[in-house]
Chain A
């Protein structure tokens, strides 16, 4: 009976996924890439494999021509910690990081030609961690300096995921200015959200490194990284501790969180439920008995699947036909209401202004 009670408080997930998104480009946004890579590093260290991480970086900082220390991305000044490492696997890079691709990854409406590493193949027993960072405002997050995703779109995407049971539980962390506005509109169950600042507040960056010349990390993620460095795969730290990370004295902004949509009490939610990959295992107690020698066993030869018909040329592209084709007649549609109305207005105004007698010059 105690076993059952234990089971109730533990999450019912069997696998973990992480979607880590950095949405800003340009060298001076180095800190956003460093943010994302430090969460990536923690998540990999705690056990989630690359095949279960979708990493989206909008710009390449490590090999950026302005990087004085190539092939590195540092999170602590004086180059203490290189979060780039030597086995980073970036799934969406540079201009591939768009709102459309991000929503496609979340909802699963991906063209069939997408490789497996670019897909979120979660099921109804997956716990997903979604981390986003970049520049944001009240109700939106800017992607690539040219487009934005609104909190309503994000909430709808999560609802689509819930309808198809693409997650068991979801942890959403966002480190941008006015980050709390992004989770205001969520309405699907089993989502827990954390943000680095409230509406009306800015999230500040942490420390610049004088050799590299830019700010290396944002404050909230810097303290989250320090918190996660203490966690190991078997630790029992729960979410309430994560909520305490980066109080106003250290962060200047007020981090916020939202747990009303989440079924379990945050006290019972382990950090490793989302950041690590602790699988549910059961001891195998049954065996089936097999007959050692099968008297009537015939070895099954693999079916010969090679085609035996002679090879021939594939259909050639009918270039001659295509060149001499007439263009397809498009069906003519009469002009629609708005255009008709606009033209009627213009003609009426013209003739009223200049008088009807000018019409005889036309006809």
Chain B
């Protein structure tokens, strides 16, 4: 077992060049966003690289007061001028190198995820809710999942649940004449609903649930209160590694005479904006605090920027390699401790494959090929998990010493008494015979 603590250092290769003619033309666009779109097909941006264009100080591409613009692909525009040398450092650290916090990892995170969209309608007598989820998934969710398909496989399903209530009764607030859910009652909302979601029956993959709750007519409108007592603008909250819940308030009808049930067509764009933001947070892609002169382009319908994907891949690769080394080390320690475990051939071959893949992943990382490094690390983790969790490695062979005595002594002691006595007799006879010739002489 390796006794030395290994550490991983990262470094960035910086290459400087001047712009090509076509890039110059693209940079002549009116705004930074258009320049970014025009530049995208011109670069041969491979996974993990970032191209930084330095524009003159007086250029009108970047709006006033902004000196760094980060696009949604893999390029950034930096305004030349005072303190240029200081720029790459914060740019590198904040944009490229920072690790996604609370990344969604763990065993099974490589096999895939199941994303379930559920519409909860506790009051079907008052609201007849329709949502065009299939179209919304194809339009807004599929692009981000396609981009993330490098990282894991996803499957999406949806359902509508009737008469599913939240576990908490909201209180009525006279001032705003609305119902409020306070922050500390939110953790208790999830449990009563979860049993009805059916997420455990679906598959062995971890499930991310996104719930859209349409409050009952008698509890409308319903808002979530944050710690300071103000209603939350998104009216949604999420739980790490579980998913998110959004409350969709139905507008009260103009005339009180309208017949129930009200027909409600859910505005899927508003809903998906929140759900996709929650999905990004669950994957650890949050916006960090940047200095005010930085401007980050919103990824829009694609869901995540290319450089965010790079960051995610890099973090996952590092984590996979670390997991492989700890798994294999603990497996080796287990096998050292228990001398009589039988290691099957396929377990051994999985271990070899895991080691080979991990080494190739590290080699690929050293040369900067992020995509192949990630694939190699994924293979390494799958192999090491399969080796570690092989059902044949269960040992029930703990024999304390007193149990060994208790089992073997009653068997061998009676058996060995005649044998030992016979041996003693043989020894005595041989000795006697040796003495006899002298006697008889």
Interface residues of A (CB under 8 A from B): 14-15, 47-51, 99-100, 103-104, 107-111, 116-117, 119, 121, 123-125, 150, 152-153, 156, 160, 163-164, 233-234, 277-292, 294, 297, 299-300, 345, 348-349, 352-353
A282 near B238 (CB under 8 angstroms)?
A: yes
B398 near A281 (CB under 8 angstroms)?
A: no
A100 near B273 (CB under 8 angstroms)?
A: no
Q: Give chain B residues whose Cβ lies under 8 Å from the Cβ of A348.
A: 426
Can you list the 10 inter-chain pairs with the closest CB atoms, starting with the nearest? A51-B200, A163-B330, A47-B191, A123-B106, A284-B236, A287-B273, A349-B422, A352-B426, A281-B186, A279-B239
A283 near B237 (CB under 8 angstroms)?
A: yes
What is the distance, in angstroms, from B182's C-beta to the closest C-beta of chain A? 11
- Residue B21 interfacial (CB < 8 Å): no
Expressed in whole angstroms, the Cα–Cα distance for A283 and B186 within the complex equals 9
B166-191: contact bitstring with A at CB < 8 Å (1 yes, 0 no)?
00000000000000000111111011
B396 near A100 (CB under 8 angstroms)?
A: yes
A288 near B419 (CB under 8 angstroms)?
A: no
Q: Give chain A residues whose Cβ lies under 8 Å from the Cβ of B233.
A: 285
Contact partner of A283 (CB less than 8 A), chosen from B224, B300, B419, B423, is B224
What is the distance, in angstroms, from A143's C-beta to the closest C-beta of chain B? 11
B194-209: contact bitstring with A at CB < 8 Å (1 yes, 0 no)?
1100011100100000
Which of B32-40, B87-95, B274-282, B369-377 forms contacts with chain A? Answer: B274-282
- Residue B272 interfacial (CB < 8 Å): yes
A279 near B187 (CB under 8 angstroms)?
A: yes
A286 near B277 (CB under 8 angstroms)?
A: yes
Given contacts A109-B389, A123-B107, A281-B239, contact A290 B224 (CB under 8 A): no
* Beta-carbon contacts under 8 Å, B125-154 to A: 135, 138-140, 142
- Residue B220 interfacial (CB < 8 Å): no
- Residue B334 interfacial (CB < 8 Å): yes
A104 near B391 (CB under 8 angstroms)?
A: yes
- Residue B232 interfacial (CB < 8 Å): yes
- Residue B303 interfacial (CB < 8 Å): yes
What is the distance, in angstroms, from A273's C-beta to the closest C-beta of chain B? 12
- Residue B394 interfacial (CB < 8 Å): yes
24 contacts between A and B (CB under 8 A): A14-B242, A47-B192, A109-B391, A121-B108, A125-B106, A150-B400, A153-B398, A156-B398, A160-B330, A163-B334, A164-B107, A164-B327, A234-B185, A282-B237, A286-B277, A286-B280, A286-B287, A287-B274, A290-B273, A290-B301, A299-B138, A352-B422, A353-B422, A353-B425
Contact-residue bracket for chain B: 35 or more
Contact partner of A164 (CB less than 8 A), chosen from B184, B224, B246, B330, is B330
B239 near A282 (CB under 8 angstroms)?
A: yes
Given contacts A116-B204, A349-B426, contact A288 B187 (CB under 8 A): no
Q: Give chain A residues whose Cβ lies under 8 Å from the Cβ of B241.
A: 14-15, 123, 125
What is the distance, in angstroms, from A301's C-beta to the closest C-beta of chain B? 10
Expressed in whole angstroms, the Cα–Cα distance for A109 and B394 within the complex equals 7
What is the distance, in angstroms, from A206's C-beta to the closest C-beta of chain B? 31
Expressed in whole angstroms, the Cα–Cα distance for A109 and B391 within the complex equals 5
* Beta-carbon contacts under 8 Å, B311-342 to A: 326-327, 330, 333-334
What is the distance, in angstroms, from B132's C-beta to the closest C-beta of chain A? 12
Q: Give chain A residues whose Cβ lies under 8 Å from the Cβ of B185.
A: 234
When C-beta atoms are compared, the residue in chain A nearest to B234 turns out to be A284
A50 near B195 (CB under 8 angstroms)?
A: yes
Q: Give chain B residues whose Cβ lies under 8 Å from the Cβ of A109.
A: 389-391, 393-394
Contact partner of A160 (CB less than 8 A), chosen from B190, B224, B334, B426, is B334
Q: Give chain A residues whose Cβ lies under 8 Å from the Cβ of B272.
A: 290
A111 near B391 (CB under 8 angstroms)?
A: yes
Given contacts A47-B191, A290-B300, contact A285 B389 (CB under 8 A): no
Q: Is the interface of A mostly helix, strand, loop or mixed?
A: loop
Expressed in whole angstroms, the Cα–Cα distance for A14 and B393 within the complex equals 29
Q: Give chain B residues whose Cβ lies under 8 Å from the Cβ of A300.
A: 138, 142
Q: Give chain B residues whose Cβ lies under 8 Å from the Cβ of A284.
A: 232, 234, 236-238, 244, 246, 274, 277-278, 281
Given contacts A287-B273, A288-B273, A289-B273, contact A281 B187 (CB under 8 A): yes
A124 near B195 (CB under 8 angstroms)?
A: no
- Residue B429 interfacial (CB < 8 Å): yes
Given contacts A283-B183, A286-B286, contact A153 B396 (CB under 8 A): yes
Contact partner of A288 (CB less than 8 A), chosen from B183, B184, B200, B303, is B303
Q: Give chain A residues whose Cβ lies under 8 Å from the Cβ of B190.
A: 279, 281
Expressed in whole angstroms, the Cα–Cα distance for A281 and B167 within the complex equals 15
What is the distance, in angstroms, from B81's C-beta to the closest C-beta of chain A? 30
When C-beta atoms are compared, the residue in chain A nearest to B138 turns out to be A300
Given contacts A107-B394, A280-B187, contact A288 B277 (CB under 8 A): yes
Expressed in whole angstroms, the Cα–Cα distance for A99 and B394 within the complex equals 11
B270-307: contact bitstring with A at CB < 8 Å (1 yes, 0 no)?
00111011101100001100000000001111010000
A288 near B106 (CB under 8 angstroms)?
A: no
What is the distance, in angstroms, from B288's C-beta to the closest C-beta of chain A? 12
A282 near B240 (CB under 8 angstroms)?
A: yes
Given contacts A109-B389, A156-B398, A278-B187, contact A288 B276 (CB under 8 A): yes
Expressed in whole angstroms, the Cα–Cα distance for A353 and B389 within the complex equals 57
Q: Give chain A residues whose Cβ lies under 8 Å from the Cβ of B236.
A: 283-284
Expressed in whole angstroms, the Cα–Cα distance for A110 and B390 within the complex equals 8
Q: Give chain A residues whose Cβ lies under 8 Å from the Cβ of B232.
A: 283-285
- Residue B269 interfacial (CB < 8 Å): yes
- Residue B388 interfacial (CB < 8 Å): yes
B188 near A234 (CB under 8 angstroms)?
A: yes
What is the distance, in angstroms, from A288's C-beta to the closest C-beta of chain B? 5
A349 near B300 (CB under 8 angstroms)?
A: no
- Residue B226 interfacial (CB < 8 Å): yes
> Can you name 19 extra interface pairs (CB under 8 A) apart from A160-B334, A284-B236?
A47-B188, A109-B390, A117-B200, A119-B204, A150-B398, A164-B330, A279-B239, A281-B239, A283-B232, A284-B234, A286-B277, A286-B287, A288-B303, A290-B269, A292-B269, A297-B139, A345-B419, A349-B426, A352-B422
Contact partner of A349 (CB less than 8 A), chosen from B195, B390, B423, is B423
Expressed in whole angstroms, the Cα–Cα distance for A50 and B200 within the complex equals 9
A278 near B188 (CB under 8 angstroms)?
A: yes
B301 near A291 (CB under 8 angstroms)?
A: yes
Q: Give chain A residues whose Cβ lies under 8 Å from the Cβ of B192.
A: 47
